[in-house]
Amino acid sequence: MKQIAQYQDGRLELQEVPRPVPPPGGVLVRTTHSVISIGTEKMKVEQARMNLLQKAKARPDQVRKVIDTARNIGWKSAYEKVRNRLSSPTPLGYSAAGIVEAVDEGNSRFHVGDRVACGGAECAFHAEYIAVPDMLVAKVPDGVPMWQAAYTTLLSIAMQAVRQTEPRLGDRVLVMGQGLVGLLVTGLLKANGARVMAVDLDESRRGHASAMGAERVVISSSQELQNEVREWTDGHGVDAAVVCVGTNSNAPIEQCAEALRDRGRMVDVGITKIELPWRIFANKELDVRFSRSYGPGRYDPSYEWGGADYPIGYVRWTEQRNFQACLHLLGSGELDLGAITTRRVKFDESLSVYQSLGDGSSGDVGVVMEYGEPDDAPAQAEPKPSAEPSAEPSAEPSDIPSAKRLAKPVAQLDVIGAGNFARTMLLPSLKGRIPLGTIVNNTALSANHVRDKFGFAEAATDPNTALGQSGDGAVLIGTRNHLHAPMVMAALKSGRHVFVEKPLCLSRAELDEIDATIAEHPQSVQVGFNRRFAPASVELKRRLDRVPGPTSASFRVFAGKLDAGHWYANQDESGGRVISEGCHFLDYFCFLFGSRAVRVTAQTVWPAEGALPLPDSVTAQVEFADGSSGQLIYSAEGDTTYPKEHCTVYGAGIVADITNFQSLTIHQRHARKQFKYGSKGHAEQMAAWLAFLRGEADHPLPYAEARQSMRLTFAALESIREARSVEVD
């Protein structure tokens, strides 16, 4: 792997080095992005280029160490020790993000494939792989791009400074220095409800400070700071000042002291000269504090490398909890990191950034190194070979505009497929509630019968009769499974909204084709995942949404043996039982938890061979991003006296049982409550879709949600084929 190495004679190299291994209790991370800390790393580059005398003047503390060493081992040995130190390369970097590649057996918080943010000048280097202890790693929430997550350590430095400042709502705070950390402090103070005056010498920082939320920006090289403070604070002075500069001058400290009100607070973040003039500090009785890096735990080896966390009751905000808070803030959209990211550079081309830092030509504020990972890549492990061909994966589709409430009702609804299921479970809910156009079925007699029974205008046997139409309408597709995908795409291309019975499609390749079609023809698609709409499900979901933390669910399905002559046993037509029926229950987990499926482990229970050469009895364990888990047992073997479907859910303070969606039993608050129902959700789903088609409600099941369930289903099949856990890509 490659890593940036700095030598004390000023050289910088991109070196090929061995890949590290996870430290005890830690993780190995494949870096996707890291951030150059302009102030800190510029100082290191400048110091490396100094001669010995300049180095001695810049670091008198190191000179004292050399003198002490010489006293103990002699000047000659001390000289050799110094020379060896100066000739050895040192790493750069301390704020990064990436994908977990390996986990030490002593770690139980992280898994391979997790998206994580990493910190620490001792480990989170600018390198393609980094080995990081548990306490310096935090999971990246869904929706936070990895390039933003790479700022987490720098954000934590700023957050710790804000915590030390203790701003209250409406406080006026002066932030001295608008480098990268100073700008982040400005943004965090604004998010905390404080009013910020940003101060810097460089006029180019004005725009960045304003973008981060500064109410007033003062360029002290051209404006009189104390006059600006007096006007801004009605002569009282600021409540607090945060010093984010690195200089050998005491001027910033004196300026901040002058600007502070009586009994104000000064917090130092930067490595700067600090002398406290007695007159002003004593007369105002100023409170002076220092902010130590990322927060409590920093520089404590028992915490960072030994994994000994501080009890939250005694230390609310440790450095790792600061990491988590920063990532949550990024997920909320409160900080505009794009406003301070002045450059994004490929890792292989990063030495040019340091060259410009060293020669003073750089005007950069935030520089993000990219290691080849897409900006918004979801969590996934290394690509695994698949037996199923697939097109290039498309981007995750957002909730398409047409999935929102329609401006006007659709003109009519056409239906393709009028088998017993459609006639019994779907069409009765549509009759008389929406103009019905053409009913299409393979047999003419059935088509005519359904036309007359439900009030369709036309009957036909050719699907193109309905699919070939265009205009403001909708199509319900209830055919055999292998026809779903091509008919969905044809209906979308004709400009109509679609309801299709499950499954949506039979392969990843078909799913990619539907994605591309929706991108070009943005109409809505709803899949017949009716169990989401069952009254028992609605009541259970309502209660679970009030329960904090992750949830576990077990769904047991006694499906009964599949006759080898049934069309479900024809894999070309049905896709097999996992796709045809398993998708229902995998979707139900997605519905219950409201989280993204990240990993699935599945297996067959009976051999897929003989008269029925496809998976018939399967089990699957599904892991979700929020920590929830779902276990599916889908069995063809059992006894008919047992309920066909039984779901048990465990959450914080609640246990719930659903049996055949006819009964729901809730155990909560030391009480047992039972509900009785008579529907699996078919009528309720039709009613919800009709409300959408009439322009009365938003779309009840957006395509992106149904798509996730199909991706999970395909991952379960891949897990069965390859006998391993599979990431849900």
At 176, is the pLDDT very low, low, confident or very high (cuts 50, 70, 90)? Answer: very high
Q: Residue 393: its pLDDT value, please?
A: 38
Distance (Å, whole) CA 411 – CA 477: 17
Amino acid at the residue 191: A
Question: Quick one: average pLDDT of 376-399?
Answer: 39
At 385, is the pLDDT very low, low, confident or very high (cuts 50, 70, 90)? Answer: very low
**Above 50 in pLDDT, residue 425?**
yes
At 621, is the pLDDT very low, low, confident or very high (cuts 50, 70, 90)? Answer: very high
Q: Residue 398: its pLDDT value, please?
A: 43
| Residues 170 and 59 both lie in one domain | no
Residue 503 lies in a domain: yes
| Most distant CA atoms of the chain, gap in Å | 107
Query: Which strands form 413-416's sheet, in the order they lie side by side?
Result: 458-460, 436-440, 413-416, 474-477, 497-500, 525-527
| Residues 363 and 408 both lie in one domain | no
Give the 3-state secondary structure of residue 442. coil
- State how far Cα 728 lies from the chain centre: 14
Helix axes 508-520, 703-722, angle to 10 degrees: 160
The full DSSP string for 341-393 is EEEEEEGGGTHHHHHHHHHT----SEEEEE-S--TTPPS--S----SS--PPP
Residue 435 lies in a domain: yes
Q: Does 45 or 281 have the greater pLDDT score?
A: 281
Backbone angles phi, psi at 262, to 5 degrees: -60, 130
Residue 625 lies in a domain: yes
Structure tokens at 279: 């007159």
**Of 449, 477, 509, which residue constitutes the final position of a domain?**
509
At 42, is the pLDDT very low, low, confident or very high (cuts 50, 70, 90)? Answer: low
Looking at the structure of the chain, the number of domains it has is 4
> Nearest-CA neighbor of 180 among 350, 50, 430, 362?
362
* Start-end of H helices in 124-224: 146-149, 152-165, 180-191, 205-211
Which of 267-276, 356-365, 469-478, 617-626 has the lowest average pLDDT? 356-365
Question: Quick one: average pLDDT of 223-229?
Answer: 95
Residue 86 lies in a domain: yes
**Above 60 in pLDDT, residue 254?**
yes
| Residues 480 and 600 both lie in one domain | no
Q: How far is CA 675 from CA 151, 222, 540, 678, in A?
A: 50, 73, 10, 10
Q: Residue 567: its pLDDT value, please?
A: 72
Average pLDDT of the chain? Answer: 88
| Residues 17 and 101 both lie in one domain | yes
Distance (Å, whole) CA 34 – CA 28: 15
435 secondary structure, DSSP code: -
Q: Each residue of 473-502: pLDDT tens digit?
A: 999 999 999 999 999 999 999 999 999 999
At 211, is the pLDDT very low, low, confident or very high (cuts 50, 70, 90)? Answer: very high
Distance (Å, whole) CA 429 – CA 136: 56
**Above 90 in pLDDT, residue 607?**
no
Q: Each residue of 706-723: pLDDT tens digit?
A: 999 999 999 999 998 899
At 75, is the pLDDT very low, low, confident or very high (cuts 50, 70, 90)? Answer: low
Backbone angles phi, psi at 277, to 5 degrees: -60, 120
Distance (Å, whole) CA 36 – CA 671: 56
Distance (Å, whole) CA 595 – CA 712: 12
Sorted by sequence, the CB contacts under 8 Å of residue 267 that are 6+ apart come out as: 161, 164, 165, 240, 241, 242, 243, 289, 290, 291
Beta strand spans in 448-586 (E)? 458-460, 474-477, 497-500, 525-527, 552-558
| Residues 142 and 168 both lie in one domain | no
| Residues 648 and 539 both lie in one domain | yes
Q: Residue 53: its pLDDT value, please?
A: 53
Residue 628 lies in a domain: yes
| Residues 605 and 721 both lie in one domain | yes
> Nearest-CA neighbor of 286 among 239, 328, 217?
239
> Nearest-CA neighbor of 428 among 144, 164, 684?
684
Question: Quick one: average pLDDT of 580-585?
Answer: 93
The full DSSP string for 546-589 is TS-S--EEEEEEE--PPPTTSGGG-HHHH--HIIIIIHHHHHHH
Distance (Å, whole) CA 516 – CA 718: 23
At 80, is the pLDDT very low, low, confident or very high (cuts 50, 70, 90)? Answer: low
Distance (Å, whole) CA 554 – CA 549: 17
**Of 260, 276, 291, which residue constitutes the final position of a domain?**
291
The full DSSP string for 584-651 is HHHHHHHHHH-S-EEEEEEEESS-S-TTS-S--SEEEEEEETTS-EEEEEEES-S-TTS-SEEEEEEE
**Of 349, 370, 391, which residue constitutes the final position of a domain?**
370
**Above 60 in pLDDT, residue 681?**
yes
Which of 128-132, 429-433, 445-449, 668-672 has the lowest average pLDDT? 445-449
Answer whether 179's CB lies under 8 Å from 38's CB.
Answer: yes
CATH number at residue 76: 3.90.180.10
Counting every residue written for the chain, the total comes to: 729
| Residues 16 and 138 both lie in one domain | yes
At 606, is the pLDDT very low, low, confident or very high (cuts 50, 70, 90)? Answer: low
At 395, is the pLDDT very low, low, confident or very high (cuts 50, 70, 90)? Answer: very low
Q: Residue 197: its pLDDT value, please?
A: 98
pTM over 0.75: no
How many Cβ atoms sit within 10 Å of the Cβ of residue 348? Answer: 12
Residue 658 lies in a domain: yes
CB-based burial label for 172 (10 Å; 0-12, 13-18, 19+): buried
At 399, is the pLDDT very low, low, confident or very high (cuts 50, 70, 90)? Answer: very low
What is the percentage of the chain residues whose pLDDT exceeds 70?
Answer: 87
Q: Residue 78: its pLDDT value, please?
A: 62
| Residues 117 and 266 both lie in one domain | no
| Residues 209 and 265 both lie in one domain | yes
> Nearest-CA neighbor of 561 among 509, 660, 636, 483?
636
**Above 80 in pLDDT, residue 48?**
no
- State how far Cα 39 lies from the chain centre: 29
552 DSSP β-pair partners: 629, 650
Q: Residue 384: its pLDDT value, please?
A: 35
Q: Each residue of 504-543: pLDDT tens digit?
A: 999 999 999 999 999 999 899 999 999 999 999 999 999 9
Q: How far is CA 617 from CA 507, 558, 660, 709, in A?
A: 20, 9, 19, 19
**Above 90 in pLDDT, residue 27?**
yes
**Above 90 in pLDDT, residue 2?**
yes
Answer whether 135's CB lies under 8 Å from 309's CB.
Answer: yes
| Residues 558 and 666 both lie in one domain | yes
> Nearest-CA neighbor of 56 among 67, 42, 69?
67
Question: Quick one: average pLDDT of 593-605?
Answer: 93
**Rg of the chain on CA atoms, in Å:** 32
| Residues 538 and 661 both lie in one domain | yes
Q: Domain span at residue 659?
A: 531-727
Q: Each residue of 106-117: pLDDT tens digit?
A: 888 898 999 999
Question: Quick one: average pLDDT of 257-286?
Answer: 94
CATH number at residue 188: 3.40.50.720
Question: Quick one: average pLDDT of 690-695?
Answer: 94
Give the 3-state secondary structure of residue 269. coil
CATH number at residue 568: 3.30.360.10
Residue 602 lies in a domain: yes
Q: Does 82 or 250 have the greater pLDDT score?
A: 250
Question: Quick one: average pLDDT of 282-310?
Answer: 94
Sorted by sequence, the CB contacts under 8 Å of residue 723 that are 6+ apart come out as: 603
Answer whether 579's CB lies under 8 Å from 506's CB.
Answer: yes
- State how far Cα 76 lies from the chain centre: 55
Residue 476 lies in a domain: yes
Sign of the Cα pseudo-torsion (215, 219, 223, 227, in order): positive
